[in-house]
Structure 1
């Protein structure tokens, strides 16, 4: 995988290529499947989720 660094100015000028309609229409199942099939994604297991602790907002 190739990584490229961008300056703050370059980031501001990048074109947004996100298909927001497609994103908005994804089901929870499709999102979860996409996460599980992405080798760069760290999807917590049900066992991991049980260990999460609620944090109060300040």
Structure 2
């Protein structure tokens, strides 16, 4: 993959909503304020303000 193609793929991935991706993967999420936790592993948290997970 060329550098330009890789940059385009990464930019497209950055624009995705993490909660939508989790739902597409059939992950069961529990809302917790501005965050979501994964029902199976509560240490997996999605921060909706930053659109990041940890």
State whether TM-score is above 0.5. no
Bigger RCO (CA 8 Å, 6+ sep): 2
Shorter-chain TM-score bucket reads: 0.3 to 0.5
TM-score for the superposition, normalised by structure 2: 0.33
TM-score for the superposition, normalised by structure 1: 0.32
Please state which structure has a larger fraction of its residues in strand.
2
Structure with max Cα Rg:
1
Please state which structure has a larger fraction of its residues in helix.
1
